[in-house]
Structure 1
């Protein structure tokens, strides 16, 4: 059964709790006042029954059935149709879960169609039933209380997001490779949160403007405007805080990119220095190998032991060979030294 609760209220008090939707419509005609019907993922038949009774627009009914709507406020004749995006922070997964709530607000009814576990509208109903003065303001008074609950539920979400941002700031300088992905995911949640909260500013402003049209002598309208003004102030704070969190995440992403680039530069510099050091060592080894090669070449030539080698018979051949080896090696040493190879 998708009808969570439904009741008839007169002068701020529950006068009847009909067991079925058909009974609710009959009781509304009998007692007057207004009906508050709460539905949880209703099927087309149930919602069509409500739509036929209260004259709900087909487009609004279609939106309520299909879901997946953006936060908005639309007017169809004498009926307001509002879509709210409640949210809650899941500590176990550190994720934000978004719901969807559709409200049909008329002169003598308010129908709440919920597509998620939050918000807990039962708490709103109990709070209003304990405050007859607020409930006596009619369907718009219920509308205010529901929106107020949705906005209040945004506070724990902001606290959870802020805690995630603090953890990211600690991870930034630890070199954790998962930081960019976490920043990206959290930024997506914040953007979704902004899409849920920003339209509320225009919604509250529009409803207050309609109440102003009733005139200054309407005490109920005056009190509702004051209540909605309080909700609007709260919404503005929520929107501002969400904007600050998103800006912080953008800055964190920029800082992370800078740190990654710095680490890459440091690694490149280290590799360059290592390469330069290796090049210097290679030059030194090559230089000494060339210097040693000079006397090795001469001794190799005269070590062939051929019989007809005229220098072998000369008395000064040995000193001349030594002098040639020394001169050859010393010359190479001077050349390499001049080129900073040694």
Structure 2
């Protein structure tokens, strides 16, 4: 069942009423109605679409997933698409939940593409700022956008902390390069997903604030300006994290290259040390008899020495992470 609310002159007068009563409530020009649908079908939106005169293209975008964040303007209403973001610090994965919004003169219709969007948090935000409810749909839209942008901030902040932890691991004395690369890749993918939904919100909020749309009145203008400021800060933060992830990856590759040079220097030194007795014994072994010369015992002794020394060197190199 869709969630519904009705405000009259800034006061909540009805809640959880049937969708069929929307037209009666909107007959009063001082009434503002909110409706929320979660994963609706075309049939679910058909009735309210006819009531509010929603454009067919906007209804189609509200049903289909993976729309880009945008604000489209139609003759009788505006259509907005946005995403809330949740970031899990444990696995480094970001999850986005899409929401579509129809904004008319006296109604706000939210269409959630999945149940991951916490619409109850938006309702609580409206209740905490009920003194602004006289602004109608502008008040409702502000609470929704403010909740979305705050979620962006929380996700970016959590991602920033994980990237700083990754930066500390780069300079660890015994870094686990394979684990670091997997973690770095997950964080980079999450950053790309967050950036994809955060950056377009600048244009969305800026368009909502336009005077010709008539959504934001003088009372709500400072509040939307504050939301726009938060959008800019979140966008700049994601851009700085993008540069930071690139720098960490480059630093990791440089450290690996330096470690490889050190290892090659050590291996070359060992090879030089071993090459000297090898050359001497190889040269004198042509003519000078040794213990066990021309006997089966000498063969097995020399074979055992070769195997033991080779195994010892292999174990030593593995311990020092040279192999």
Normalised to the residue count of structure 2, the TM-score between the two structures is 0.81
Whether the 8 Å contact between 1:90 and 1:96 is mirrored in structure 2 is yes
What do residues 124-182 of structure 1 show as CA deviations (whole Å, max 9, x unaligned)?
A: 33432453431111112211111011111223212321221122122213321211121
With a CA cutoff of 8 Å and minimum separation of 6, indicate the structure with the bigger relative contact order. 2
Q: Does 2:259 align with 1:258?
A: no
Cross-structure match for 2:175: 175
Instruction: Give the number of aligned pairs.
Output: 286
Q: Give the deviation of 1:284 after TM superposition.
A: 1.6
Q: Give the deviation of 1:7 after TM superposition.
A: 1.9
RMSD: 2.3
Cross-structure match for 1:155: 153
What do residues 60-100 of structure 1 show as CA deviations (whole Å, max 9, x unaligned)?
A: 11111111112111112231111111011234534222111
Q: Give the deviation of 1:24 after TM superposition.
A: 2.2
Unaligned runs of 5+ in 2: 290-323
Among 240, 248, 269, the residue aligned to 2:244:
248
Aligned-partner Cα distance in 1 for 2:125–2:266: 67
Whether the 8 Å contact between 2:92 and 2:190 is mirrored in structure 1 is no
Among 46, 56, 60, the residue aligned to 1:58:
56
Cross-structure match for 1:44: 42
Cross-structure match for 1:206: 207
Whether the 8 Å contact between 1:119 and 1:150 is mirrored in structure 2 is no
Aligned-partner Cα distance in 1 for 2:5–2:140: 13
**Cα distance, 1:92–1:252 mapped onto 2, change above 3 Å:** closer
1:97-176 to structure 2, matched below 5 A, reads: 97-173=95-171, 174-176=174-176
Aligned-partner Cα distance in 2 for 1:31–1:18: 20
Runs of 4+ residues deviating >6 angstroms? none
* Secondary structure of the structure 1 residue equivalent to 2:27: helix
Cross-structure match for 2:235: 239
Aligned-partner Cα distance in 2 for 1:273–1:248: 37
Q: Give the deviation of 1:32 after TM superposition.
A: 4.7
Whether the 8 Å contact between 2:142 and 2:223 is mirrored in structure 1 is yes
Aligned-partner Cα distance in 1 for 2:60–2:268: 66
Normalised to the residue count of structure 1, the TM-score between the two structures is 0.77
Aligned-partner Cα distance in 2 for 1:58–1:281: 87
Aligned-partner Cα distance in 2 for 1:31–1:87: 35
Whether the 8 Å contact between 2:6 and 2:34 is mirrored in structure 1 is yes
Cross-structure match for 2:284: 288
What do residues 23-80 of structure 1 show as CA deviations (whole Å, max 9, x unaligned)?
A: 2222322575221101111122111211111111112111111111121111122311
Cross-structure match for 1:187: 188
